[in-house]
């Protein structure tokens, strides 16, 4: 069984240095919430990593060719495949807030399961890639 204790303690607002406070304030503003979740609080033990990661999240998860719900669905799929419970729960909450319903979540999980199964079969069978797919 895995050890549920965090490797680094979450940084509270009272403990945050000015760089961390600036990122926490931006998270609150961008997400329009008072919640700075425990991922960001744990990452705040390294202010430079916190700044880099938050900047990348804003850039990738912000406006782009993919709509916000699609980005959350991709994040859920990768998180399920990687076994990251925290990310599964966080991005499922994000997807639900963006309009995903229970039927859509169930279907997404079926697609993820099928993709993982067929990927394993293809990796085992090693068929040549069809010319039409190149």
pLDDT tens for the chain, 134 residues long, are: 567 788 999 999 999 999 999 999 999 999 999 999 999 999 999 999 999 999 999 999 999 999 999 999 999 999 999 999 999 999 999 999 999 999 999 999 999 999 999 999 999 999 999 999 99
44 and 70 part of one domain: no
Query: Domain residues for 26?
Result: 9-62
pTM confidence score: 0.89
Query: What's 119's domain CATH number?
Result: 1.20.1290.10
- My answer on whether 69 and 121 are in the same domain is yes
Is residue 121 located within the same domain as residue 87? yes
Residue whose token pair is 């190149």: 134
Asked, for residue 16, whether it belongs to a domain, the answer is yes
């Amino acid at each position: 069984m895995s050890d549920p204790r965090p490797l680094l303690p979450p940084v509270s607002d009272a403990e945050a240095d000015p760089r961390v406070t600036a990122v926490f304030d931006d998270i609150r503003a961008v997400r329009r919430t008072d919640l700075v979740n425990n991922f960001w609080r744990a990452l705040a033990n390294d202010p430079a990593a916190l700044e880099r990661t938050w900047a990348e999240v804003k850039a990738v998860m912000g406006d782009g060719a993919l709509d916000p719900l699609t980005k959350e669905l991709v994040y859920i799929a990768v998180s399920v495949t990687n076994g990251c419970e925290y990310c599964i729960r966080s991005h499922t909450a994000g997807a639900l807030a963006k309009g995903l319903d229970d039927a859509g979540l169930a279907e997404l999980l079926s697609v993820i399961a099928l993709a993982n199964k067929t990927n394993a079969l293809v990796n085992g069978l090693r068929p040549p890639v069809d010319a039409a797919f190149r």
